[in-house]
Amino acid sequence: MDLAGVEGVLAGRRIQGLRQRPRPFPERPPGTDCLPEIRHIVILMMENHSYDNYLGPLGRGDGLPRDGLGEAFAARIIEAALHGADWMGTLLVWCYDEHGGYYDHVPPPAAVEPDDRPPEAGGAFRYDRYGFRVPAVIVSPYARPDYVSHAVRDHTAILKLIQRKWNLPPLTARDRGADDLLDAIDLTSPPAFATPPDLPPAALAAAASADDAVRRR
């Protein structure tokens, strides 16, 4: 399958004219690596309820919702990236699929519609507004220390980052206008996290250690 065919499948619908859509660097051929410092883009997309489990922190099955499993899972993936064989070529994006029903005082802003096709379910609904906010974290040796981005973006920013790296055309109008997340990293200065930081243990691991200590006494 050629590049246009692959992108059409990924978009979940038949997309016409991908070859004619502008690429980030039109003077370079599609597939050109335009971010050679970043060799691995890792997406850690968490289900928003993954931190709520009903087994208890140590699997005792007490029927109470607990925080911990999602945090422990994220910690395993992030630690693997930090101490992987090519940490210096890694950029990990950690985010959540949606807000999970939690209150947000900021109304969702308007968004660019992906295309001019109406929703298949019909009705007045359009894909012209963002949802509520979700957290996102960039993990990379090139991440800017203590940096908080104030750009308005959605999950298609991840697509835009991949398109930026490989000089690929956009799939829809939504990702054509998306931010590429690159404000969160610095490729012009010595990497701030060339030596991976030591992270505190996840709460679940800390609880397990404390429980083991109690049993040993």
**Residues comprising the chain, all counted:** 217
Q: Are 212 and 206 in contact (CB under 8 A)?
A: no
Name every residue whose Cβ is closer than 8 Å to that of residue 49 and which is 6 or more positions away in sequence: 100
d(CA 211, CA 217): 10
Q: Is the pLDDT of residue 27 over 90?
A: no
Half-sphere exposure of 217 (CA within 13 A, CB side): 6
d(CA 156, CA 160): 6
Task: Work out the burial of residue 85: count CB atoms within 10 Å of its CB; fewer than 13 is exposed, 13-18 middle, 19 or more buried.
Answer: exposed
Model confidence over 137-161: pLDDT tens digits? 999 999 999 999 999 999 999 999 9
DSSP assignments along 92-115, one per residue: EEEEESS-TT---SSPPPB---SS
The amino acid at residue 49 is H
Written as six digits, the tokens of 40 are 């691995």
pLDDT surpassing 80 at residue 60: no
Q: Of 188, 198, 108, which is closest to residue 154 (Cα–Cα)?
A: 108
What is the tens place of the pLDDT at every residue in 114-145?
998 888 877 778 889 998 998 899 999 999 99
